Amino acid sequence: MGQLSSIVRVALPIRHWSLFDYRCEPVIEIGTRVLVPFGRRKMVGIVIEHAEYSDLPLDRLRYIDTALDSIPALSASLVETLKWIARYYQQPIGDVISTALPKAVRRGRPLQPKFGVVYRLTEAGLEADTESLSRAPVQKAVFEVLKNVSEPLGPQAFEHAGRSWKGALKALETRGYVKTEPRFIEPELHEQQLIDDLMPQQAQARATILQSLDKHQCFLIQGVTGSGKTEVYLHVISKVLEAGGQALMLVPEIGLSPQLEQRVQHALGVAVTSYHSGLTDKQRHKSWWLALSGAAKVVIGTRSAVFLPFRNLKVIVLDEEHDTSFKQQERVRYHARSVALHRAAQEKFPIIFGTATPSLETVHAARAGRAQTLLLPERATRAPMPTVNLIDLGRDYSRDGLTVRLLDEIRNRIMAGEQSLIFINRRGFAPVVVCLTCQWTAICPNCDSRLIYHHSDNRLHCHLCMQRSALISQCPQCLSDQVQLLGVGTQRVEEVLQRAIPGARVMRIDRDTTQSYSEFERKLKRIQDGDVDILVGTQMLSKGHHFPNVTLVGILNVDQGFYSMDFRAMEHLVQQVLQVAGRAGRAEKPGEVYIQTMHPDSAYFDCIRQHDYLSFADLELMQRRKAVQPPFSRYVLLRSNSLKPGQEIEYLRQARSIARSIVQKQGNSQVRVFDIVQSPIQKISNRFRAQLLLGSVAYTPLKQFLDAWIPQLEKIPKKGKLRWNLDVDPVDFS
């Protein structure tokens, strides 16, 4: 064992569970990027720990080549959060660090990206006499522009001064009168315009949170749709900004950003920085740096924004906290809600969860005292909640997915100059292509999934591997021409509405019609401007959006949750229905919701009709407790997939054998090892899939088991191109 005071442990961007020891002089700060020798190459890593000892002899420890930056890329507290992610989610620390950094930073490029520039006068320039430049008219004109303002100016401010304004600025810079600075972020837009007339419950929620701005506390704002949760967020963030802090707002999807960004900018008077997958690598790098430099006061982002290296973060808001989009489903399978909660505790500031339909994990945590619930039971506009009506599909005739009753109600809204929203969480025209003679069904050759007919290009689509093929008119099995399109998707609903209500202005919003951020913004504006009578859409429309003229919401294909094998299916169904229902009647016009279902007598619909989510939570938590399912236990899912069928099962058999041996050796009776099963979607992109579920009532014995199991999983021989991954607290079992 070697001893040295200047040993650092470095995380490298490779799939490895350990840190690597290096020598350095002098000691480098935690969170700093370093260039290190690794084998025959050089790699960029992050200093994670200081150490006095190494398990390797000193003469085998190599020196760090150089520290790449004068400041850490990650704060010591953020590094601790990333180490926690690696431990809790059982992920290689190198993968976790890579996930937290933008591509340019991972590759060793400067922390500060290239920005545009702004110009301002130096102290010498402020004292200089304008007349001293009378022999250089363009310099004088440029100088006068700067002299008349207190803020730095961008290049566009000097274009009227003459064609040679760039040279004039260079000359003034040489004289020492002008200096250039990077344009980090736009200056304040205007004075704050917060709404002061809050409802009593909003004011109480604001006051309660403001009492805890200097310490860690978790708050759950559970408010019905339209109850003004965002106004409470804004008041809290305003106080944070006054004290010189920064704020992070996490939203589940990019589509929620446009309206929210405008609203935050208008209310707080500061420019908002965004961070999400819709940005280019360069744009993400700039947003990352703005957070690190402190120039970004408010950042709105999706789940990956939880890793941003803020200089002075003082509050996190997690809007629509129940949404499963906060769970990363690839590579490092973290949940942004848990990471945000841990980060807030680590850095000692409050975190706010907001939703009308909290996850049952959060409801359970609040009842256990780990979060303080603040209820907003009324809409901020004082508008009543929409009336919920059930349409019994066992009695009411449905043609192509729409009942006569629902069509009549839509016509009435159009005659009244109001808008309707029809929600169906299924893209395409028809989800089933079947032969009526022999029951052959069109299946993707690469996936265990039905092909879905899309009318827009007259082709069959696989929504898993994205392969497309021509529509089949003759059955390949029995050669019959009785091939039919069954079921309903957004495209068919759009077509039915246009045929049933001639002249109606129908807009469809799903991933097929709305593929870009800017396109989504344009469509939202058309809705707000009243250019649309009927909106047809998927879950992109189900939350966060304010459509004041929508007075009717129709919900189709709601029954799929009743038949799912996922134990969270009913939770997701009720959340989705209540969120969509909340789009109706948000302004002065009352709203109505029509739900088409084969199960109108279900107790779950009683909760929905009464907008009583907590009663549903009581029902479902009681069932979960009996079944020892989350949140009354912890699950871990080991998935494997292979190109050759059977290899994925064989890998899991060995993994299960090792698991049972470890449980027996540890005397760990709390850990349950379930049976190996084929994944619900058995094949995707020609890879065969299976999974092994493990559970434990308590986390500590599960963690003890995983610490012993994971190293053994790495050692199991992997035939062919077999892959495996571990998912702690899974939300998707498909």
- For 440-507, give the secondary structure using H, E and C: CECECCCCCCECEEECCCCEEECCCCCCEEECCCCCCCCCCCCEEEECCCHHHHHHHHHHHCCCCCEE
Pairing of strands 117-121, 178-182: antiparallel
Place of tokens 């009942």: 403
Residue 426 in 3-state DSSP?
coil
- Check for a shared fold between 200-376 and 387-426+488-623: yes
- What is the dotted CATH code of the domain comprising 2-106? 3.40.1440.60
CB 514 within 8 Å of CB 462: no
Number of H helices, E strands in the chain: 20, 31
Q: What integer pLDDT is reported at residue 54 of this predicted model?
A: 87
Question: What is d(CA 98, CA 101) in angstroms, rounded to the nearest whole number?
Answer: 5
Among residues 560, 78, 83, the alpha carbon closest in space to that of 308 is found at: 78
Q: What integer pLDDT is reported at residue 519 of this predicted model?
A: 77
The string of pLDDT tens digits covering residues 640-685 is: 999 999 999 999 999 999 999 999 999 888 999 999 999 999 999 9
Pairing of strands 33-38, 66-67: antiparallel
Place of tokens 């890579």: 98
DSSP 63: B
Among residues 206, 199, 210, 217, the alpha carbon closest in space to that of 372 is found at: 217
Among residues 242, 259, 251, the alpha carbon closest in space to that of 300 is found at: 251
The string of pLDDT tens digits covering residues 138-162 is: 888 888 888 888 778 888 788 777 7
The residue ranges of the chain whose pLDDT is under 70 are 1-5, 184-190, 255-258, 516-517, 543-544
- What is the dotted CATH code of the domain comprising 387-426+488-623? 3.40.50.300
Domain boundaries, the chain: 2-106, 117-182, 200-376, 387-426+488-623, 634-728
CB 247 within 8 Å of CB 240: yes
Pairing of strands 298-301, 272-275: parallel
Instruction: Kindly give the interhelix angle for 336-347 and 76-88, rounded to the nearest 10 degrees.
Output: 140
Question: What is d(CA 193, CA 200) in angstroms, rounded to the nearest whole number?
Answer: 19
Tell me what percent of the chain is helix, strand and coil, each rounded to the nearest 5: 35, 25, 40
Q: What integer pLDDT is reported at residue 266 of this predicted model?
A: 87
Among residues 533, 576, 259, the alpha carbon closest in space to that of 421 is found at: 533
Tokens of 436: 């009526």
For 235, list phi and psi in degrees, rounded to 5: -65, -40
Pairing of strands 534-537, 419-423: parallel
Domain 200-376 fold:
Rossmann fold (3.40.50)
Side chain identity, residue 240: V
Q: What integer pLDDT is reported at residue 491 of this predicted model?
A: 94
Tokens of 161: 């001064």
Domain 634-728 has what CATH class?
alpha beta
